[in-house]
Amino acid sequence: MTLGLLTVWTLALTLPGTPTATDATDPVGACVAVLQQPASAAAVAGAWNDKGKLLHQAKDLAGATAAFQVAVALNPLHPEFANNLAFLYQLQGLHLLAEYWYGKTLELDGKRAVAHANYASFLQDRAIERTPGRDPDRDLALAAEHLTQSALLPDRDPTVACAQARVAALRNLCVDAATLRDACRKAPQKKLARQKALGELAGLLGDCWFAEGDFDAARKAYQDAESLQQDVAAKVAQLDAAARKSEVPATPDHQLDLQDARGRALQALERLDKADFGPETEKLLLEALRMAPDAGIAHAASGEWLAHHKRFAEAELAWSRALHLGLGDDRLTARAQAGLGRLYLRWPDTPRYAEAAALLAEAVRREPTRPDLRWDLVQAYRHSGQLRKALAQLERYLQSPMAGSPEQRRDAVALRKSLAATLGAAADPLPEEDATPKDRSPEQTAREAARSLAGQDRYADAAEVLRAYLTHAKAGPDLHNDLAQYLHGLGDVEGAMAALRGSLQANDRQPAVHLELGRWLARLGRPEQALPHLMRAEELGIAVATVERLQVETAPQGQGVRALLADLIRRQDLQDAISSLDDYLDQARQTPPAPDADVKAARELRESLVRRLRQGALVVLAAVILLMLGTLGVLWRRHGGRDLAWLIQHHPETGPEVQRILAGIRHEVLKHNTTVLTGLAEAIAAGQAQAPELAAHARTRLLGGGKDVSVAQQLAGYVRELQQLGQARGVRLNLRRRDRAISALLNGFAELRAVDGPLARVASLGPRAKARLLRHLGEAARLLNADGYEAVRNLLDSLRLLGVDRVVLQGVFDRVRQEPAFASLAIPTLAIAPSVELPVWVLVPRPAFEDILTNLLRNALQSSLAHGGGGRVGLAVETEVSPVTGLERAVFAVRDGSAEVLTTEMLRGRYIEEGIGLTADLVARYEGTLDVREETGAWTKAVVVKLPLAHPPADEAA
């Protein structure tokens, strides 16, 4: 076999710029560099051929094959390229392909000596291997013919005689072989090569003479072989044995041994079938091998035993011997091929997928009804990059009713989907590689080259092969799809997508390609580009494309709140998507088997959409609630809250403070406004010259801008005080909207602010603007002086809270008398002595007044009981008036007859008991006074409370 290759290498390339093996540090890279340069197709093909040779030299058979395939694809008429490709196929055991390309070579150039020699070598190997389905005698005869033709051609190899001698020996033409051996001996070749060639030839001649029964000649030939370093000891031993039994033919004995060995090997196989890999099985195998070392079945069974014991290299050798020796029946041959194929498939560290694929393909051919073999073949094809073949085998696997467990079938379906998506479902699976090589096109050859490279994980080279092809020729969708697959394997997603686009340009009706491209684009975040492909895939009948499309269409837009809002806006779209997913899932249930992964993806998307819709609904609900709460809050802030009357009613203790603030408002805010506003309005209406100056004065005084605090600012300060008063008691005062008095004042100032501009330019106002200004001023005056002032006065009136009469006074005393301390005592009735007409009206809320009087009565009662007063208590009601201010006060004198000494200082001080101390505080709070005075007659002293006297309400006064 070396002959042919060496010859190929010696052919000089005459293409300009073509690199040689020695002029570059990286010869393969150098060839690639040439390939990347613009050149004619012939030049490029030559460079690929060169590259193939270099790769072969580097023992990269697959790479070399791929390169030669490209060379042939680019220039199918060049016999050298075809010859080289054939030779590479031969080296890899791809017999049919090798034979096809040898045939092609000789068809292109029938006078090519090296092609004849190579083909003869191929035929000789087939004959020696006893390849099933072939006739060894015919192959050897054909090999002899081609060698003869080669020997007659001028460019023959000088050592062709050696090859002729070997073939003659194999054909048992011992005399011819001996003659040719002499010619071989004379052929110019290196010493070592000659020695090796002659040694092999001597062995073969020995076999030849042995078979002819010429033991002497055989012995001499074997001796020659031994002298030439050939190991023929076994053969010599056989020859000796045969010589000893010279009367009896050797063959029958050997046949008996073979039968025994075969029987033991079959027993061993039965044990192996029962998973018995123990010593008994081993013993049977050793016996079989000892009896007949050339019994293929013994080696085959040994292979299984060795593989089980993880002695992989020995197993490989055993199976190889078995297949070489032949097993005699298809079932056993298939078993051995499958065993070795599976061994390669699971070869430690670096599985040998291509070899596994070749063996398993043979096994499947022999045993087409075994799905387990087919499944392994699928894996071998798949991992060796022969995806189309893998898909074809997978289809056949799934068609088989015996194809594996449900889980395996599910895996197979998923794999089919994946492969179909990668390859494009529209493309039909390619025929078996060895089936119809004559139909192979340059494009297919390029694809196979690339696939072979990809099978060794050399995706970059595979892609390069396909790209080089595309540089010079148009290709069908499959080649683009292959390119996409390799580029994707390299992580070049953009390149892969470009390849898929190229594929679709060649054939738009590839739903799987549309689907795959759509998926990739979607994952790269290009939904606009993805959608047309996914929709096209749907249109072409891929149901799962709907799921993919919906994934893209319903992808969350943004994150967090933004995404939720987006979902709310397209709520109907999401609901429609859920309906579509329901349809898909229904359909998947009705037409099984739907790929589990697709169904799972659809279910997950549906659940996700439902969840998002629920979240959206919750958000809407929360938003509505928040909106309602917000609206209520605004409404409450605007219209809620309390007025001053409510504050005073529910917190009477605030009365004096409110009164003080209102008095301040009345004094600081309300005074002058009427004068200023009315006077200003009169001046403007009359067109007085001083109107602008008056307006400026009014603005400064009322709204601010001068050095003094404006009235509006004073009002704001008072309003703040009132609100703080309410806040201190947990009351939100809405003075602007709910309090009649304050709101009138605030609105009045708002009216003024509304005409601040016109006020600033009174002199230049036209009649209409002036009229409008006057209307606003009139309204402000009304609000401030009529509504506001009146309301403040009414509010102040309402603070005159309590009319004190006998009922009130007696009621307080009765409650004191019923207290535990007094309930059991005989307490005289309260002696009420009013010197004024009752009721008297005081500016004190009823609870505060009752607290004050209760404490005073209790104190008096205790004092009276303890200090000789007999429990008698009296109450005088009087009034007094200040001669200066004319202010009146109600005077309540609680009398007793006790001897206890009590002074005003004691009353007001803190050293007295707490009850009176609190009373002193209460009295002070309501602008009252607390004194002690001496009494005459039946009474010794009186505790006197003076409280501001109010005038009765209008209806009471009436």
By CB under 8 A, name the binding residues for another protein: 663, 666-667, 670-676, 678-680, 682-683, 690, 694, 697, 701, 784-786, 789, 793, 796-797, 881-888, 904, 908, 920, 923-924, 927-930, 946, 951
What torsion do the CA atoms of 238, 244, 249, 250 make, to the nearest 10 degrees? -20
Supply the minimum distance, in Å, between the C-beta of residue 835 and another protein: 18
Supply the minimum distance, in Å, between the C-beta of residue 882 and another protein: 7
The answer to whether residues 804 and 832 touch, using CB atoms and an 8 Å cutoff, is: no
Residue among 885 and 936 whose Cβ is closer to another protein: 885
| Full 3-state SS string of 799-856 | CCCEEECHHHHHHHHHHHHCCHHHHCCCCCCCEEEECCCCCEEECCCHHHHHHHHHHH
Residue among 887 and 901 whose Cβ is closer to another protein: 887
Supply the minimum distance, in Å, between the C-beta of residue 923 and another protein: 6
SS3 354: helix
Supply the minimum distance, in Å, between the C-beta of residue 782 and another protein: 10
The answer to whether residues 319 and 343 touch, using CB atoms and an 8 Å cutoff, is: yes
Amino acid, res. 430: L
Residue among 278 and 953 whose Cβ is closer to another protein: 953
Supply the minimum distance, in Å, between the C-beta of residue 816 and another protein: 23
Residue among 113 and 942 whose Cβ is closer to another protein: 942
Supply the minimum distance, in Å, between the C-beta of residue 929 and another protein: 4
For residue 442, what are the CA distances in angstroms to 97, 248, 426, 502, 547? 14, 60, 21, 19, 39
CA atoms within 13 A on the CB side of 195: 8
Residue 360, classified by CB atoms within 10 Å of its CB into exposed (0-12), middle (13-18) or buried (19+), is buried
Amino acid, res. 646: W
Residue among 393 and 785 whose Cβ is closer to another protein: 785
Supply the minimum distance, in Å, between the C-beta of residue 706 and another protein: 11
Helices (H) and strands (E) in the chain — how many of each?
47, 7
Residue among 44 and 744 whose Cβ is closer to another protein: 744
Supply the minimum distance, in Å, between the C-beta of residue 673 and another protein: 7
Give φ, ψ of 803 to 5 degrees: -100, 115
Supply the minimum distance, in Å, between the C-beta of residue 775 and another protein: 17
The answer to whether residues 418 and 381 touch, using CB atoms and an 8 Å cutoff, is: no
DSSP one-letter string for 97-114: HHHHHHHHHHHH-TT-HH
The answer to whether residues 458 and 446 touch, using CB atoms and an 8 Å cutoff, is: no
DSSP 26: S
Distance from C-alpha of 585 to C-alpha of 80, rounded to nearest angstrom: 58
Residue among 216 and 905 whose Cβ is closer to another protein: 905
Distance from C-alpha of 32 to C-alpha of 51, rounded to nearest angstrom: 8
Give φ, ψ of 335 to 5 degrees: -65, -40
Name the pairing type of β-strands 840-842 and 941-950: antiparallel
Angle at which helices 79-91 and 61-74 pack, to 10 degrees?
Answer: 150
Residue among 471 and 674 whose Cβ is closer to another protein: 674
Supply the minimum distance, in Å, between the C-beta of residue 771 and another protein: 20
SS3 873: strand
Residue among 322 and 774 whose Cβ is closer to another protein: 774
Supply the minimum distance, in Å, between the C-beta of residue 871 and another protein: 29
Q: Which residues pair with 834 in a beta bridge?
A: 877
What torsion do the CA atoms of 436, 441, 447, 451 make, to the nearest 10 degrees? 20
- Within 10 angstroms of residue 157's Cβ, the number of other Cβ atoms is 24
Residue among 179 and 879 whose Cβ is closer to another protein: 879
Supply the minimum distance, in Å, between the C-beta of residue 675 and another protein: 5
Supply the minimum distance, in Å, between the C-beta of residue 715 and another protein: 14
Supply the minimum distance, in Å, between the C-beta of residue 928 and another protein: 7
User: Tokens 């292979």 label which residue?
Assistant: 303
Q: Output the six-digit token pair for 450.
A: 């690339």
Nearest residue to 81 via CA among 71, 90, 67, 92: 71
Nearest residue to 809 via CA among 771, 850, 775, 842: 850
SS3 581: helix
Residue among 826 and 884 whose Cβ is closer to another protein: 884
Residue among 261 and 943 whose Cβ is closer to another protein: 943
Residue among 435 and 786 whose Cβ is closer to another protein: 786
Residue among 671 and 770 whose Cβ is closer to another protein: 671
Nearest residue to 8 via CA among 106, 99, 80: 80
Residue among 589 and 667 whose Cβ is closer to another protein: 667
Distance from C-alpha of 129 to C-alpha of 137, rounded to nearest angstrom: 12
Alpha carbon of residue 15 to chain centroid: 54
The answer to whether residues 385 and 451 touch, using CB atoms and an 8 Å cutoff, is: yes
Residue among 673 and 864 whose Cβ is closer to another protein: 673
CA atoms within 13 A on the CB side of 618: 8
Query: Helix, strand, coil: what percent of the chain each, to 5?
Result: 70, 5, 25
Supply the minimum distance, in Å, between the C-beta of residue 630 and another protein: 41
The answer to whether residues 527 and 552 touch, using CB atoms and an 8 Å cutoff, is: yes
Supply the minimum distance, in Å, between the C-beta of residue 726 and another protein: 23
Residue among 195 and 904 whose Cβ is closer to another protein: 904
Supply the minimum distance, in Å, between the C-beta of residue 717 and another protein: 14
Supply the minimum distance, in Å, between the C-beta of residue 680 and another protein: 8
Distance from C-alpha of 7 to C-alpha of 80, rounded to nearest angstrom: 10
Residue among 322 and 698 whose Cβ is closer to another protein: 698
Give φ, ψ of 812 to 5 degrees: -65, -45
